[in-house]
Amino acid sequence: MVSLLGPSDAFLRILEDQLAADIHVRGARVTISGAADQVAKAAEIVTELVTILRTGQGLTSETVERVIGMADDPHAAAAEILTQNIVSSRGRAVRPKTLNQKRYVDAIDRHTVVFGIGPAGTGKTYLAMAKAVQALQNKEVSRIILTRPAIEAGERLGFLPGTLNDKIDPYLRPLYDALHDMVEPDSVPKLLTSGTVEVAPLAYMRGRTLNDAFIILDEAQNTSMEQMKMFLTRLGFGSKIVVTGDITQIDLPGGTRSGLRGVQDVLDGVDDIAFCTLTSRDVVRHKLVGRIVAAYDQFESLNQPREQHRR
């Protein structure tokens, strides 16, 4: 009961604030009163929280809020989603945290090529990386290849000193960061040196056939149509591809069509390819990030007709 209610009853206060039902706790008994539909909803949420606790996973304020958020979706079993471990490292487990994230993870299991499209903070790259590490640990693939286009995000970095690796490292740093979260830090240099994990800019993919590999293309909104075709045709035997990107943050020069925008029109209906869309509701960073993304979406939807009229 202490774990269910949270430190100083913090979780109980979240339930009371966000649910239209009265919740009373006495000893080991929880009593819920109010309108029948709201009582049923609250009872379902409390049951899901208890199920999560029985798996040995602790609750956090974020977990409680996510369970409440999933309660209105008949297809979402919160306990099943939030207890699905992908990989564990240093006492931390990587898990999907929303229904769309679980659908994305399941699509990676079932399909050879998967596109994860959504705004910043929705876990597109992080979950793809976790599935890649899982596949490597389970010996489903013999190597992981991580790539992204070397396009600057709305600014010019100018001349960068050092070797070629030093020059491209800033573009690939987010992929290194995710990798460090999922494997022991001491093993990362060994994996990179041996070629078991390769991190390279997209330009290095041309002319290669990638067999027995888990391949992730990040920031795919900054590929051209030609680059996207080039990348997808690198697929070899025993390999899997995950492409991630955010079509609202394209940094390509004017007039260049994003390969991520165009690929769904080209590959729609092709067998063994899945497109997964994540939204601001799937943001798993600071809760304010989700509100920022939603505010930008609303602003752009309201101003789009006006901008088109100006053009």
Q: What are the phi and psi torsion angles at 276 (to 5°)?
A: -120, 130
The mean per-residue pLDDT over the stretch 142-151 comes to 88
User: What is the reported pLDDT for 200?
Assistant: 85
pLDDT at res. 142? 97
Residue 154's pLDDT is what?
Answer: 43
- The closest of 124, 53, 109, 105 to 83, measured between CA atoms, is 53
> Which H or E run contains 171?
helix 164-182
- DSSP H stretches of helix in the chain: 2-5, 10-18, 36-54, 61-70, 78-82, 99-110, 124-137, 164-182, 187-194, 225-232, 259-267, 287-310
Q: What is the largest CA-CA distance in the chain?
A: 68
Looking at residues 37-56, what average pLDDT do you find? Answer: 92
Residue type present at position 168 = I
First to last CA, the chain: 61
The span from the CA of 150 to the CA of 177, in Å, is 17
Whose CA is closest to 135, among 183, 202, 205? Answer: 183
Residue in the block written with tokens 């999560």: 52
Q: Tell me: the pLDDT tens digits for 225-255?
A: 999 999 999 999 999 999 999 998 888 888 8
Element (H, E) at 232: helix 225-232
Tell me the range of 36-45, 74-83, 144-153 where mean pLDDT is highest.
36-45
178 or 91, which is more confident? 178
- DSSP element (H, E) containing 245: strand 240-245
- The residue type found at 198 is E
For 103, the enclosing helix (H) or strand (E) is: helix 99-110
Task: Note the pTM of the prediction, 2 decimals.
Answer: 0.81
